[in-house]
Structure 1
Amino acid sequence: MPVSPRLDVAGELLALLRDTTTEPRPDDQLEALTLAVAADLPVLLWGEPGIGKTAALTQLAESLDLPLTTVIASVHEPSDFSGLPVVGDDPSEQGVAMAPPDWAVRLVRAGRGLLFLDELSTAPPAVQAALLRLVLERRIGALRLPPGVRIVAAANPRSSAADGWELSPPLANRFVHLQWTHDHEVVVRGLGGTWPRARLPRLDRKKLPEAVGLARRAVCGLLAARPKLVHQLPNSETRRGGAWPSPRSWESALTLIAFATAAGSSRDVLSLLVRGTVGDGPGLELLAAMDRMDLPDPETLLADPAAAVLPERGDLRQAVLDGVVEAVRGRPAKARWDAAWELLARAARTGAPDLVVVPATTLATLRRDDWDVPAAIEGLEGAVALSRRADRAADRSAGRLTDRSAVAAKAGR
């Protein structure tokens, strides 16, 4: 039967509404997602219903020219992922084959694709257990997914999931967990017809050895100093269903650091990836350790203070200046003491002057009786005096607050 003319017009209108375009646009969470996909690590997007997780995966598949296969985990049986037993002519001789589902066969035939496991937090424990082999080993029944297939899942928090379950710790520890949130400007432009374009990161071939070396030094250095971080299973059920440190997740973190370094990604993107593999606490410790790895050597700075390049970030600059003072303390000499003062004066001229107050005070206590005061100290007098005035003002303010509290207490008696 012919379609109603009214529905023809409705179809034209729907086609116009679906006619959208894309644009290159910086997006940290989208870049983190594409990096994890490029690194061939399973990714789990966490977000409230309607936040755009499915739309992001659809657009990612289109941008990467990968066929998208969507599987709703909660509507499948465990056998759909472990394989259905098929009895042959002679089971005692040939065994019982485990037949894979049709979507797995299509992925193998295509040789590539994006497997999207949606609504993962609504899958019961038995289905989650069956997914373990799929997510880690890429096996479904007797089939093994080809290297060109990537796995991405999406889940709602249990509080907003339909009949939701917490993720089991073994399954959760296999994923890179990314918190998916909406960007107001992206949503407005997208509804206007222009969405951000997902692109695979450009890896600099020349940086590959350096990226691997940096990742290994960062992870191994932290775990050597903090052995308890190697494996920490969280106490609460909710936290066990997220990112937490284990040898497996540290290996994923190492991989992602190498990829982010080779791609020249920002610290914000690296932070999303690292915290998404080993959790917020261990991830922040790792990022701090990486920051310290990039700090200049105090001995290099003392050897040529006039050419010193100090970090822009205040916390890193403070760490460098403290390291310089400790280097002078460890090997005191008049020339090194003078060079340290020159560095402090340079720091006061090029950054926040209050950062030099503590190292300057410590450095002053290292002076020997026969050491003349260097001229560089004159440039620090203003900063030290200003800090002292601020401290005295804070003390007076605290004293007034204490007095007022005492008066109020007496009045209340």
Structure 2
Amino acid sequence: MKINPSQLGQLLSAYIPKGLPVLITGSPGIGKSDIVAQAAHDAGHELLISHPVVEDPTDSKGLPFPSPDGSAAKFLPFGDLERAINAQSPTVWFLDDLGQASPAVQAAKMQLLLARRIGEHDLPPHVTFVAATNRRNDNAGVTGILDPVISRFATVVELQPTIDDWTAWAVRNNVSPELIAFLRFRPDLLSVQKKSRDIENAPSPRSWGFVARTMGVVPAELELISYAGSVGEAAASELISFLGIYRQLPSPDAILLSPDSAPIPETPAALYAISTALAAHSTEGNFDRVLTYNDRLIDAGYREFAALLARDAVRRTPELQNTHAFIRAQGGPLGQIIRGQ
């Protein structure tokens, strides 16, 4: 079953408190681990992360240790197993990259996943399993997951990134407006499955995150090299072309000086750039002027961009919802657009 990041977060928030195990599949770099970490935090659970790909079957069983008289032996838990068995507070035990683990390591997890015990050791009831894996066609070293292991999860879902979820994350984390505007203009570049085995990166939410961190760090003459190393040359070249358009547009400050007469661009790329930039510059002091320009976008027939501008501005600065300008706008065309009327 395919699921977007928002839906996955909601699913985990329902399953984790009930102790129901979830297996998440999806391509590399789309945020599976981050979503699990956020869900554990939201549920008030500790997060224990294991990487079965570097484990030995004994990691899930313990090491044999003889009794004092030498007549018997017990398996003593160590590492993550010992931490899970002795967990005193609600805990999410996250098995990351499970599909890359050997069949022997996967098989060693089966009793833990279903019976919640290994040998004479029981897992506390407040430990919940969540696992993630890439798919076999992702060139990530995944040969599959044993069917008996899969059947031990309450549900299996496939995560697919969406531009809306990525944008919401980007706005909350102060990603540069020009990158947000570009990916809105080219949402098909948010995540691209790599088809070659060449040693190069492909576009993904994770690799675009690296682009966001390097923007403003490298000089202009090195931008293409830097961004191509993160998302590949084709996507980086498109980004550079978009940045050329973005940087030639009037600055948000210039628009806000005369919102009644500032020019309104006509091309989609420029409209994405202007609306995203104005949202990033919105404050309680200038939001009335932002909304004046936004009304002109609506009058010009660019309702979608007006909605993007208003939503982004409020996401970045929730206090804008309480301004008189925004309250008034709710009773007009902007309010109808936001409500989907």
Greater fraction of residues in helix: 1
Structure with greater Cα Rg: 1
TM-score range, shorter chain: 0.3 to 0.5
TM-score by length of 1: 0.39
